[in-house]
Structure 1
């Protein structure tokens, strides 16, 4: 009598490995939303808040209106005072980092389970270097594109923010008017520098950068270091009227 062939059954560990592999594939490569064009990346409309965040940032600031003062604060700078990094302060369900990526990148694909919030891939036309950078979300790749505070948090702290309430500090740290998706190494090079120490490598962006820096300072009532104002004035002299 012929022997009955035994059916092969997967062991529990092997089955778990397969399920995990499928879940990872769906997480990274599953169905996604897409978007082909970037939104307006400079000075999007601000809504203001009960904490005193400004209703908008001037796009053509008057450098003469800036208040000059050396760096000072009532306490040492501490990033934690500005609240959790990339909080969802506007209540749209997406954290601030992804809000900025959605605004600044093109050819975006979202993580399948994120309801159009978590950017999985995209392309950044970097304003600081002029390069086009492919963004791929992951522990080894996400840092290629970073979110820069145009006016660094520590700079703001030294120029008036140290007296603010916690809610206003958190609003400032997440204000899209002060945020840009940029080349990671360029952001690291900038660190907490003001315009006297660092300007974008792409010279054609200098006028815009100075306007953004000055506009944020004016909107939030922050002062500017004399050397930074001098650097911005030199750039501004060569900008279109």
Structure 2
């Protein structure tokens, strides 16, 4: 559960005692690789093709196979959980048994991996509508498991579920302070993978980058 919710349920002295037991360690902020500067993101956004979104015909999440094995018993989800968490302990099957995760979308901190989702910054369905429908399945698999760029990030599960497949014109992270970073990640992912943007999406991204 989040620290905010804990404060509502327990007296402050007890909450502080629990925090001291944890050593008051601040969880690492989830920071995927390859987040560009604002100037680079603006340049990349300007270069993207602007077009109406395509059809959802033929789409399913199975068109983007995930999570694939990364190393040993660890798949992509488990790899991102370890990357984005603090003091993450895993079992022999690479499942996270303990750790702490700070979700930059909403500022919540979690101590159970089950409370955390791995968000595709550019959702799979959004990618499908933006050009991925014409890709080979192998390319869609690479996109869905992309650890080299800022496409995967550990965040609060219900926040990720609220986002669904919406683009930044329709949904933005609850924390406005994260809008700049989110826009940079979104733009760079679309740029790296050659995906299109629609006009309202581009306008929203320009506004978000204006906060940087």
TM-score normalized by structure 2? 0.79
Aligned to 1:170: 141
* Higher RCO (C-alpha under 8 Å, 6+ residues apart): 2
Q: Distance in 2 between matches of 1:203 and 1:171?
A: 30
Aligned to 2:68: 87
Query: Which one has a bigger Cα radius of gyration?
Result: 1
Supply the RMSD in Å over aligned alpha carbons.
2.1
Which of 138, 141, 151 is the matching residue for 2:122?
Answer: 151
1:41 aligned onto 2:14: no
Aligned to 1:14: none
Aligned to 1:122: 99
Aligned residues: 181
| Aligned CA distance change for structure 1 residues 165 and 198 (closer, same or farther; 3 Å) | same
User: Displacement, 1:92?
Assistant: 5.0
Q: Distance in 2 between matches of 1:40 and 1:65?
A: 28
Secondary structure of 1:224 counterpart: coil
Cα contact 1:70–1:226 (8 A) shared by 2: yes
1:132 aligned onto 2:109: yes
Secondary structure of 1:222 counterpart: coil
Q: Distance in 1 between matches of 2:47 and 2:54?
A: 20
Cα contact 1:38–1:103 (8 A) shared by 2: no
Aligned to 2:84: 104
1:188 aligned onto 2:161: yes
Larger relative helix fraction = 2
User: Displacement, 1:238?
Assistant: 2.3
Which blocks of at least 5 consecutive residues in structure 1 are unaligned? 1-35, 45-56, 137-141
| Aligned CA distance change for structure 1 residues 180 and 189 (closer, same or farther; 3 Å) | same
